[in-house]
Chains A and B, each alone.
Chain A
Amino acid sequence: MFPYTDPVGRNFLSDMAVASEFQQQLQSIYDSFARRINSGFTWIEALQQLPGGQLPQAVMVEWAAFPITAQATDVEIDHDRFQHQDEYVEWRAERQQNRLTQVTFTTEFPEYFEAFAAVGFEALVRAVQDAIPGANPTVEEVFGTGFNPEATSSIARSRTFRDHLRSNPWNNGQKGILCLTQQFNTLGALFNLLAECGVLKTQGTPENTCALVASTGACGPGRSSDPAVCAEAQRAVRGNLGFTLRDPAGIRIATLEGVWRLNNTDININDPAANPGIWTVSRNGRRGVLSVSNGLTLDGNSLVTGAQIARKLKVAADVLAAPNATLPAWARIGVESSSRGPV
């Protein structure tokens, strides 16, 4: 099995049982979508077996975190995260005395925490505390009322954890934010998007492939993220490339744009050495925290909402690609149904 790495760069908190759970889950996901008939999406192992030690081409697909589909005000977008924040980025805006004090962005998928939940409540607590220092989650908070994690299977724990994410105060904003929870922001959706859009279309352009596959539910043409990822997948397959998501699979924070000033002095917000702790990206680019102090402005405006910052936040998915003809025979387009998978 491919040694899928910890997506947040924490080595699964040195818990090999968690690592095993997560890696099996990832293996299943990759395998499932690599078997999509006639899709250029393939197993990650295939990109490691290019002839002559060739390296795959790395493609970064980037988009803005701001949910352009939301027909709502910035305040409403902040408040109704599960309704509006649909670009594989979600955030929690904290206020004190009606003033914005901190915004935490996450691109982490729940599968990571599910692996901890599958191992046990204590493991899950460690994971929550690793993401939110000082957190002291209870069983009821993370699993819901009446759930006994000791008396249930690992699958039941991980499913219950996930099903309860909207009510989990360490995730729903009451006490913190852990991971993506909006209905379209799932790891499966990201893989499905790549696999579906990786099927060669003889009509349309790469840019509107998303609309062509929209009826399958794989792609939301109104979003920023889906059409961008979809177009790249279609470009790849039109260029006779096979491709996959780079390990660790997921979305990472790329950059925070705009002109940032602190007390009327320009600051390089993306440079940790130059931004006096205002913008901190951690967990392998999966978590970003903006501390809002008096005198901090963005494009000349004081900071009022998280949506305002989301407009300037770029995130990215990393794709690896290589000519289909150079892939191992079992990984090429057209052999999906008969392939034995990575060997």
Chain B
Amino acid sequence: MTRMLGIMVVLVILVQPFAYAQSSPLQFKQSRDGAPAQLLSAAEMASLGDPLFNLVLKEHANLVKLMDVLAAIQPNAANRHLFIVSEDIVRSALTGFRRAVLAFDGTNAGEALKGNVMLSVSFGPNGIGDVVDIEGWGWDNHRGRYNYYKLDTTGSAMGTMIWKLRASSDAAEFMSPAERTGTCLQCHVVGAPVMKELFFPWNNWHAGVGGSFKAEYLDPASAQANKWPAASTPLFQRLSTADKLETDFLIPAFKRFDQTRLQTALKRNDATGDRFLSPAGRMTVQEGRRILQPLFHTREINLISSRHTSGIHPFGNATDFVATLDIQIPASFFLNAQLIAGGGTGGLGGLKLTEANQFVSFAKLTQQENKELVEKFQLRLNGVTGDTHFGWFVPEPGFVDNDLIDQALQLGVVTPHFVAAILAVDIETPVFSNKRAELFQFVPEQFDFTPIPAGVDPVSVPRDATQDGLTQAVLANITQANPAAGTSADEFRKLLGTANAVTELQTLVKAYVARVKNALDLANPAQRKAELERLYGILVERRRLMLSHPVLKHLDETNGQLLLPLPHQ
């Protein structure tokens, strides 16, 4: 999650030929915004099995008061957790709206709740209303899918609130932009929950650890004057912070989802249902293109920023700006650090080329330099010159997709050699790379691999080119296409043909680090300024690419006003 179905905040109250009567079991579904509510079939009802359905909607879809819904999911209030997000989060004025995400842990009626069900509601200064639109999802562990629901008045001529099934994550990865229009899957691209700012400092979230932003005006424990009255309401006694949502709820949820995605792509033994293992100890991938697509196409993104403030947020104070303070540029701006280096807060195994993290030790600019860049590029946030609270806010490769690749790497589906080869292509463009995208055509749907035992680091396994079925197949496909010298396909072919592409990638990373480090040398101000402008140009371009992307543009729920600073049009 977070802003589940957030694109559908503009409700369309339909004029129905008749009003459906509300009754206890969930009765309705709605395929997309603006579409009429329809009756669920018995088969559709039978296909639902997530905790939100089992605890609430299966028998108690008449529950429309938030507190009643919360009690039905988790009667013990101590096991509820409240998280807050908004592009307005730094504005403490008693105005506007924030989005609350409600998560649960513990169990209820045999349902494990942690990371298996969440709700999302909007609220104003006075707190969360008694009866409000609710967006919710539940993870059906049996079927390995997320189900998305919404409570609103759609389908009611009387304006009463009605729960509706809105989508499931089945086949989300295959949907076209047109098919996603008006559905939850417009934002939940691969079907998983969305937390755009997943990692530190969680720009736009109430947090607090490590110098991240703490929305004191919402914190019941804060001594700040002029707090929102919401902070004094019972729900806010369970106010928690974004770091907990990340580490305790969503990263485990993403890992489980990716495990399901990966496992469903493997050939099974018809008789036992177990993963098929050949006499030679090989497994088979049957949906290779679905699993490997993230290495080539940017399908999911997260938004990362510097861990340091810009000092020039439009809702901040003039005194926030300290010209000499550093703004560290995140490593993932320069390359796919999660997969190349591994480790970090996401904890991926990766290729363990920790040189990729070295950017953070020198790639910094001052708040003054950042301010000059914002002015040079004529960036606007909320219609005025300014920057996000934490500087250098930019799309990075989505964790949910990086984790999928990492799980494939850990299992042996892809070799470190293959991952290194593709990441080396257009290495300086970790998202929205056309060069990598055009190489996807060479990926086969089916191939064999030798599974790596759990706990064994794939990077430590000596490369055996004869067992690398994927590399062999891709090489064959490229060779058959006979690409011209100098093309991306030619580069990819050469990398795959090396003895070990991990070494090649390491060399590339080191050279890249050295080049940027030299270009940002403080001893050469003119060169440094030019390099910062080049890098900032890339930053702005990535924001533009996200907002012009047919699917990812929907992640901006502020109509281009508050999420990403962009040049004045």
Contact = CB atoms under 8 A, between A and B. Distances in A.
Given A71-B357, A299-B255, A304-B455, A230 B319 contact: no
Interface in B295-333: 307-309, 311, 316, 319-322, 325-326, 328
Interface in B240-274: 241, 243-244, 247-248, 251-252, 255-256, 259
A57 B308 CA distance: 29
A228 interface: yes
B452 interface: no
A223 B223 contact: no
A312 interface: yes
Interface stretch (B27-35, B54-62, B184-192, B211-219): B211-219
Contacts of A77: 343
A324 B213 CA distance: 24
B347 interface: yes
A79 interface: no
Interface in B194-249: 200, 208-214, 216, 221-224, 241, 243-244, 247-248
B209 A204 contact: no
A62 interface: yes
Interface in A310-326: 311-312, 321
Interface string A209-238: 011100000000111110110110001100
A14 to B, nearest CB: 36
B345 interface: yes
A311 B343 CA distance: 10
B320 A312 contact: no
B322 A257 contact: no
Contacts of B361: 71
B319 A203 contact: yes
A96 to B, nearest CB: 13
A206 to B, nearest CB: 8
B208 A221 contact: no
Given A211-B326, A257-B248, A308-B347, A68 B209 contact: no
A239 B223 CA distance: 7
B352 interface: yes
Interface in B324-352: 325-326, 328, 341-345, 347, 352
A266 B322 contact: no
A321 B223 contact: yes
B354 A73 contact: yes
B320 A68 contact: no
B320 A299 contact: no
A299 B256 CA distance: 7
Given A205-B309, A224-B210, A300-B259, A266 B114 contact: yes
A258 interface: yes
B211 A230 contact: yes
Contacts of A257: 244, 247-248
Nearest to B201: A207
A70 B344 CA distance: 8
Contact of B319 (A70, A202, A268): A202
B511 interface: no
A208 B211 contact: yes
Given A204-B325, A207-B211, A228-B210, A235 B347 contact: no
B293 interface: no
A64 B325 contact: no
Nearest to A211: B325
By Cβ-Cβ distance, the 6 closest A-B pairs, closest first, are A227-B211, A257-B248, A259-B252, A224-B210, A299-B252, A71-B357
Given A59-B221, A74-B342, A204-B309, 16 more contacts: A57-B223, A63-B210, A68-B345, A71-B357, A204-B319, A208-B211, A208-B311, A225-B210, A231-B208, A231-B211, A231-B214, A236-B223, A258-B248, A259-B114, A300-B252, A302-B454
Interface of A: 57, 59, 62-64, 66, 68, 70-74, 76-77, 99, 202-208, 210-212, 221-225, 227-228, 230-231, 235-236, 239, 241, 257-259, 266, 268, 299-302, 304, 307-308, 311-312, 321
6 contacts: A57-B221, A64-B209, A258-B251, A259-B114, A300-B252, A300-B255
